Amino acid sequence: MQGGSLHLELLWLGSCYVLTAERESLVPAAGLVWPGSICVMLECDISRCCGGGVAVDSEVEGDTEMATQTVESVTSQTAKKKLVRRLLQDRSQTIRHLMQWAFVALNAWLGLQFYLWVRYFERGGEGLYVSRPAGVEGWLPIAGMMNTKYFLTTGRVPSIHPAAMFLFMAFVTMSLLLKKSFCSWICPIGTVSERLWRVGRKVFQRTFRLPRWADLPLRSLKYLLLGFFVYVAGSLPAAALRGFMHTPYGMVADVKMLNFFREMSVTGIVVLLVLGVLSLLVQNFWCRYLCPYGALMGLASLLSPLKIRRDAEACIDCGKCARACPAGLQVDRLVQIRSVECTACTECVAACPAEHALQFAATPRRAADVAERWRGRVAGPTATAAAILVLFLGTVAVAKATGHWQTHLPRQMYVDLVMHADEWTH
């Protein structure tokens, strides 16, 4: 039986099962899941469900030899393979970290400018005036989602928070093309999360993983949050979405968010501290369990043509990639990583010592020679960074060039709205 059909049959039975290479038997992965639901939401990688003990034909398209290779046969190889060392030094993490800090700096600058803009209107329109940075709307993903629906159903660009829509569409497109690179390359919260677990690992000499029985249901929390927001945006007709955006609450949603952090309650501070401590101990705690935006990016990333791909012939089965993976994926057992948890951070690629064994790449060519198989298919770190920048800056440029980047409201209206921002409710 083909892996895909076996997987689907098991899903329709209402349970998700994983055939692990070690146990060579069917074991429940997540207990009961909804019949017909997407197993990948709970399980780390659909290919694990379909790959064990059956032909992993969908894993390496176009390579007959590898296509018929089973997970069992991969893992039972005892003869040590010869290591062909990588020729070039890996710079992926240097480039990725530079991108991360560049976007942290950009967000800090946007935040400062926005704060000064808000203070000007809080003073009744007196003192230092700076223009409103529309880029701050990247922090309004729900407005972005609502405006995207409005745009798709009416064909009209919304006049309130249009930048939120453009940035939302840019980030989703990024996930459709480049896996969940948004999370590990440019999201400031992802960057802070990553620094926290690195600090935690230094302090405690390790990080912790939740037991499987807790990890799987907790991972579904972000989908429940996402489902709620999608329901809200999806159930409102276009006229209602426009009406909501034109309420005082909708117009100053960004100011209200700033005020949430400026006037944080004791409960808010405690929640943030708890999240901070958990992020020190568990890798990417917020992203893995709670972030609905990351959940959406993960679902979009299932369609990405670029994935982490392992070449079983070049791989020496050292397991370094799996040990380096912050998402805990079994990179050393799979020929491609489809998981919604893979953020394209390429930590696994950086850890791999073997030439052509692991890469962020499109489907390999049909070729007997390893180098030929991957020629022209690999997205190196420079190309990945360039693609992210082109998508991001290109979207901003298009929005600006067409006059749809800024929210245009009269200055006196902003004075009234911002001065009373705390009073507006939805």
Minimum gap (Å) between residue 319 Cβ and ligand SF4: 5
Tokens of 200: 């935690």
The amino acid at 26: L
Q: What is the DSSP letter of 136?
A: G
- Contact partners, residue 168, CB within 8 Å, separation at least 6: 141, 144, 145, 147, 148
What does each C-alpha distance from 159 to 234, 245, 258, 411 come to in angstroms?
20, 9, 21, 16
Total number of residues that touch ligand SF4 (CB under 6 A): 29
373 binds ligand SF4 (CB under 6 A): no
33 binds ligand SF4 (CB under 6 A): no
342 binds ligand SF4 (CB under 6 A): yes
d(CA 8, CA 27): 16
- Contact partners, residue 422, CB within 8 Å, separation at least 6: 256, 259, 263
Tokens of 152: 């798709």
Q: Is the distance from CB of 215 to CB of 29 less than 8 angstroms?
A: no
d(CA 125, CA 304): 47
The residue with tokens 């005020």 is 259
Stretch that binds ligand SF4, among 104-112, 158-166, 327-335, 365-373 (CB under 6 A): 327-335
C-alpha triplet 8, 10, 14: angle, nearest 5°:
110
269-288 footprint of ligand SF4 as x/- string (CB under 6 A): --------------------
Stretch that binds ligand SF4, among 40-48, 109-117, 280-288, 328-336 (CB under 6 A): 328-336
340 binds ligand SF4 (CB under 6 A): no
Stretch that binds ligand SF4, among 28-36, 49-57, 117-125, 308-316 (CB under 6 A): 308-316
Q: Which is nearer to ligand SF4, 26 or 192 (CB)?
A: 192
**Three-state secondary structure call for residue 347:** helix
Stretch that binds ligand SF4, among 72-80, 115-123, 351-359, 391-399 (CB under 6 A): 351-359
343 binds ligand SF4 (CB under 6 A): yes
308 binds ligand SF4 (CB under 6 A): yes
Give kind and range of the element (H or E) at residue 306: none
**Which residue from 30, 169, 351, 361 is in contact with ligand SF4, where contact means CB under 6 A?**
351
The residue with tokens 């560049």 is 102
Helix pair 92-122, 188-204: axis angle to 10 deg:
120
**Which residue from 4, 217, 227, 319 is in contact with ligand SF4, where contact means CB under 6 A?**
319
**Which residue from 287, 345, 385, 399 is in contact with ligand SF4, where contact means CB under 6 A?**
345
302 binds ligand SF4 (CB under 6 A): no
Stretch that binds ligand SF4, among 5-13, 152-160, 195-203, 342-350 (CB under 6 A): 342-350
Binding footprint of ligand SF4 on the chain (CB under 6 A): 308, 310, 315-321, 324-327, 329, 331-332, 337, 342-348, 351-352, 354, 357-358
